[in-house]
Amino acid sequence: MASPGWYQDPEDATWQQYFDGQRWTGDRRPADPPAPPPVTPPPAPVTPSYPTQQWDQPQWGQPAPQQWGQPPAPQQPAPPQWGQPAPQQWNQPGWAAGPPPQRRNRVPLIIALVVVVVAGLGVGGFFLFKSDSSPSFTFDGQAIDNPDQPLKQAGTTVESLVKARHGAKSDNTRCYYAVPDQPAPDAKKTDIDHFAWCGPVVFIDGAADKQYLRFQLSSQPAKSGKVAVTPSTQPTSDAPEAVPSSTNLKRPDNAHAPSGAGGLKVPPPPAAAPDTLIATDVGKEAVPAAPSTAVIGGVNGGVTVTKLGPVKRYGTGDDARSTPDSHRLIAFQLDGALGNDGTPANLSRSASVSIDGGAARRLPVGNADQYIVVAVPNAAHAVDLVLADSGIRQTLSLLNGKPAASNIKVLARSHRVDTIGRTSNFTFTFSQPVVFPDGSSGSSQTGTLSVPSAQLYYTIPSKHAKASGPGRALLYIDVGYTVKESPGRDFGFEPAMMTFTPSGKGPIRARNVASSGLIYDIFEVPANLTSGTLRISGSFVSTFANTGNKFRTTLAAPITVRVSFPAN
């Protein structure tokens, strides 16, 4: 092995690097002007047993010719080559002086020396360098202590990330320092930038042309007088990046980065769990609009299925999952629906999913723009959205969007109010003269009719009224009148005077569900009612308040009011 010492830097003759007898340490210093070689005096003459011959004086820089019986003059060793140990000097242990070898013996001796040097490198230098020379790396001008270690540390993080994120890597995936093509004016050409680049790697939904993770590098002084470099615990971004074209990726072992994508392809998402029920996004998957009848209406609100259909995968990036074996994925979006009184409310948080009549599973809570995705066995015959509200359980198929036949049909309607806005005058006649509240009297009276609106209900809790079945509805037409003789008071028509006839059906008589002395007329109609006619006609009997005698009030001319509701 060569002796420790400073030797010329092969990349810059004005600098020297230190060799410690076993390896190049990376320490550098300015080179001193070269000193002249030492003068070796010729050996003292030896008196031979035969006549002495005379020799010319040796020229400077050339070996003196040998005299009989004298050893050859020692040779000045050349500085070690970069990446190789320095040769030993003739006067070091292990080399014995002797007579000059014959010319025919020189080749075997040189070969033997080369074998010894190469063998020395094979034992001591294999783990340091995999080629004849190892690149130098500096961080802000200072030599890096153990430059392999930061790359190994970042590489361990990359291995964990690829496994955890279901990514892909290759046998050529490793970490590198980045050396700029054009260093800054005040930087060394061995300076690295402040990042380690690790790749190629690719993750789900990644870009094929961006396959390197970047780790921030920091430094601190090391005991060796160099700097210790440490990579960040996580890359600067979850998404791999493209390596800038202005940098070169280098490693202490001289391994080269693979060209292009390194043969890697974007990996598919892993399979979802067979019992998946999740609120998520579906990326680029197209989910069709649900049928307009895909509504479950409840007393306090409801749910409307707006999007419904199968998908092959859901989620994006690391969260993406694909269809599990022997299953299918169904995605749907929900909105609210009208409650019994016409007020909209979204009851999706009270909804659940049941497969083949099994236990209902409550829907997960998500954002308004997310989908609910459920994994369903291919053999399943029924997949139902279930809503339980006010003691009423209703279902809707997630296979075709159809509500169950037992659902409350009127509550699934989105059009239940008709704004009529009708006013008109009418005349009452009395069977005998009457005295009005204002003190006037007469045998007839003029009134003003008002019909502002009509509405469909399933139940009217304040009147303890409810439709007789899921296919029926309660129709309330807000009908009233006023007369000038009783200012500030509204009156209703007696139910015996009111009938409602759905289009194409027979007349339905009104039913008063108000408490005694008041009028609140309703009609029970088909839940799918779209139009009909209210008719007010006939007469009714009343009692005089002061005498107890009876009299009859008759509507002089029938009143008809058209009612209509848009189809769902």
pLDDT at position 568 is 76
The token pair that represents 342 in the structure block: 């016409």
Residue 188 has pLDDT above 80, yes or no: yes
Residue 39 scores a pLDDT above 90: no
Tell me the pLDDT band of 32, cut-offs 50, 70 and 90: low
Q: What is the pLDDT, as a whole number, of residue 164? A: 96
Distance in angstroms (rounded) separating the CA atoms of residues 507 and 516: 25
Choice among 26-40, 252-266, 284-298 with the minimum mean pLDDT: 26-40
Q: How confident is the model at residue 103 (pLDDT cuts 50, 70, 90)?
A: very low
- Tell me which of 50-64, 213-227, 348-362 is least confident: 50-64
Query: What is the mean predicted confidence (pLDDT) over 133-146?
Result: 88
Computed over every residue of the chain, the mean pLDDT equals: 84
Per-residue pLDDT band at 109 (split at 50, 70, 90): very low
Residue 214 clears pLDDT 50, i.e. is over it: yes
Residue 225 has pLDDT above 70, yes or no: yes
- What is the three-class DSSP state of 34? coil
29 φ, ψ to 5°?
-155, 155
Report pLDDT for 279: 97
Q: Phi-psi bin for 166: left (phi > 0), alpha (psi -120 to 50), beta? A: left
Transcribe 200-242 into DSSP letters.
EEE-TT--TT--BEEEEEEEEE-TTSSEEEEE-SS-S-SS-BP
The Cα–Cα gap between 306 and 287 comes to: 10
Q: 444 vs 220, 357, 438, CA distance in Å?
A: 108, 66, 15
Least confident of 42-56, 240-254, 452-466: 42-56
Q: Which residue has the tokens 């409840």?
A: 298
Q: Structure pTM? A: 0.68
Band (100; pLDDT cuts 50, 70, 90): very low
Give the DSSP letter string of 271-334. BPPTT-EEEE--TT---PBPPTT-EEE-SS-EEEEEEEEEESEES-GGG-EEPPTTEEEEEEEE
Asked if pLDDT for residue 532 goes beyond 60, the answer is: yes
